[in-house]
Chain A
Amino acid sequence: MSARIPVSAIGDSAADLVATIAFLSPELASRIQFGWTITVHILFASLSVGLAPFLVYVTVQEVRTGDRRYARLREFWTKVFGVGFVMGTVTGIPMGFMFGTNFGSFSTTVGELLGGPLSFEVKMAFFLEAVSLGVLLFGRERVSDRFYALSSVLVAVGAWLSAFWVLVVNSWMQTPRGYEIVTEGGTSVARLTDPVAAFLNPRFPWMYVHMQNASIIAVTLLVAGVAAYFVRTNRESDAWRTALRLAVVVLLVTSAFQAVHGDAYGRHVADTQPHKFAAMEAHYETGQADLHLVAIPTDPEAITDPRAENLYTISIPQAASFLASGGDPTAEVTGLDDFEFESPPVAVVFWSFRLMVGLGFWFIALGAWGTYRCRRGDLAEADRYLQLLMASAPLGFVALLTGWYVTEIGRQPWLVQGVLRTAEGVSPSLTSTEATLTLLGFVVGYLGLLAAFLLVCKRFVDEERDRCGVGDRDDADGTTDERPREVIADD
Chain B
Amino acid sequence: MTESLSATEPALASTSAYLVEPLPELWFGLVVATFGVYLLLDGFDFGVGVLFAEADETERRRFLAAFGPLWKANEVWLVLFGTVLFAGFPAAYAAILGRYYLAVFALLLALGLRGLGSKFRGERDDERWVRFWDRCFVVGSAAAPFLLGAFAASWALGEPSVVAVVPLLAGAATVALVTALGAAFLCAKLESPIRERLVRRGRAATAAYAALGTVTLVASVIRYPALRSEIQSVPMGGLCIGTIACAGVAVAAATGNRYRSFAVATAGLAVAFAAFIGVLLYPAIDPATGTTVADAVAAPLSLNLTTGFAVVFLPLIGSYFVVLYSLFDDPASDSGQYQHG
A-side interface residues toward B, CB under 8 Å? 75, 78-79, 82-83, 85-87, 89-90, 93-94, 96-97, 99-101, 103-105, 107-109, 111-116, 118-124, 126-128, 130-131, 133-135, 137-143, 175-181, 188, 190-197, 417-421, 424, 427-430, 434, 437-438, 441, 445, 449, 452, 455-456, 459
CB pair B105 A438 closer than 8 Å: yes
With contact pairs A89-B115, A429-B99, A441-B105 given, residues A131 and B323 touching in the complex (Cβ less than 8 Å): yes
For the residues of B in contact with A, the DSSP-based class is: helix
Judge if B305 is at the interface, Cβ distance under 8 Å. Answer: yes
CB pair A100 B340 closer than 8 Å: no
Q: Which 5 A-B pairs have the closest CB atoms?
A: A111-B90, A100-B97, A115-B87, A104-B94, A193-B10
- Which of A100, A120, A417, A421 counts the most chain B CB atoms within 10 A? A100
Judge if B282 is at the interface, Cβ distance under 8 Å. Answer: no
Judge if B2 is at the interface, Cβ distance under 8 Å. Answer: yes
CB pair A104 B97 closer than 8 Å: yes
CB pair A138 B328 closer than 8 Å: yes
Question: What per-residue 1/0 map shows which CB atoms of B176-188 lie under 8 Å from chain A?
Answer: 0000000000000
CB pair B1 A109 closer than 8 Å: yes
Contact of B80 among A75, A123, A192, A427 (CB under 8 A): A123
Judge if B255 is at the interface, Cβ distance under 8 Å. Answer: no
Chain B residues with Cβ below 8 Å from A195 are 301-302, 305
Nearest B residue to A419, CB-CB: B4
Nearest B residue to A101, CB-CB: B97
- Alpha-carbon gap, A140 to B327, bound state (A): 11
Nearest B residue to A126, CB-CB: B76
CB pair A135 B2 closer than 8 Å: no
Chain B residues with Cβ below 8 Å from A142 are 327-328
Chain B residues with Cβ below 8 Å from A120 are 306, 309
CB pair A180 B105 closer than 8 Å: no
Judge if B204 is at the interface, Cβ distance under 8 Å. Answer: no
Chain B residues with Cβ below 8 Å from A100 are 82, 86, 93-94, 96-98, 104
- Alpha-carbon gap, A194 to B341, bound state (A): 49
Chain A residues with Cβ below 8 Å from B306 are 115-116, 119-120
- Alpha-carbon gap, A142 to B329, bound state (A): 11
Chain B residues with Cβ below 8 Å from A181 are 1, 3-4, 7
CB pair A420 B2 closer than 8 Å: yes
- Alpha-carbon gap, A133 to B99, bound state (A): 35
Apart from A101-B101, A119-B306, A134-B72, list 20 A-B contacts with CB within 8 A. A86-B119, A89-B72, A90-B116, A101-B98, A115-B302, A119-B83, A123-B309, A123-B314, A130-B72, A131-B323, A134-B328, A176-B7, A177-B8, A188-B1, A192-B305, A193-B301, A194-B8, A438-B102, A455-B129, A456-B123
Judge if B19 is at the interface, Cβ distance under 8 Å. Answer: no
Nearest B residue to A94, CB-CB: B108
CB pair A441 B98 closer than 8 Å: no
Chain B residues with Cβ below 8 Å from A118 are 83, 86-87
Chain A residues with Cβ below 8 Å from B305 are 116, 192, 195
Contact of A123 among B91, B115, B313 (CB under 8 A): B313
Return A464 CB to nearest CB of chain B, in Å: 12
Judge if B12 is at the interface, Cβ distance under 8 Å. Answer: yes
Chain B residues with Cβ below 8 Å from A121 are 83
With contact pairs A115-B83, A139-B327, A427-B94 given, residues A434 and B101 touching in the complex (Cβ less than 8 Å): yes
CB pair B90 A137 closer than 8 Å: no
Chain B residues with Cβ below 8 Å from A178 are 8, 11
- Which of A97, A105, A176, A417 counts the most chain B CB atoms within 10 A? A97
Return A98 CB to nearest CB of chain B, in Å: 9
CB pair A75 B10 closer than 8 Å: no
Chain B residues with Cβ below 8 Å from A424 are 1-2
Return A427 CB to nearest CB of chain B, in Å: 4
CB pair A430 B98 closer than 8 Å: yes
- Alpha-carbon gap, A191 to B6, bound state (A): 14
- Alpha-carbon gap, A107 to B101, bound state (A): 15
CB pair B309 A124 closer than 8 Å: yes
- Which of B68, B116, B306 counts the most chain A CB atoms within 10 A? B116
- Alpha-carbon gap, A20 to B300, bound state (A): 46
Return B38 CB to nearest CB of chain A, in Å: 12
Judge if B84 is at the interface, Cβ distance under 8 Å. Answer: yes
- Alpha-carbon gap, A137 to B69, bound state (A): 8
Nearest B residue to A341, CB-CB: B2
CB pair A122 B301 closer than 8 Å: no
Chain B residues with Cβ below 8 Å from A99 are 86, 93-94
With contact pairs A96-B83, A191-B299, A418-B2 given, residues A75 and B309 touching in the complex (Cβ less than 8 Å): no
- Alpha-carbon gap, A445 to B86, bound state (A): 26
CB pair B87 A131 closer than 8 Å: no
10 contacts between A and B (CB under 8 A): A75-B341, A89-B72, A94-B105, A99-B86, A115-B88, A123-B309, A124-B309, A126-B79, A419-B4, A455-B124
- Alpha-carbon gap, A427 to B93, bound state (A): 12
Chain A residues with Cβ below 8 Å from B58 are none
Return A35 CB to nearest CB of chain B, in Å: 17
CB pair A197 B11 closer than 8 Å: yes
CB pair B82 A96 closer than 8 Å: yes
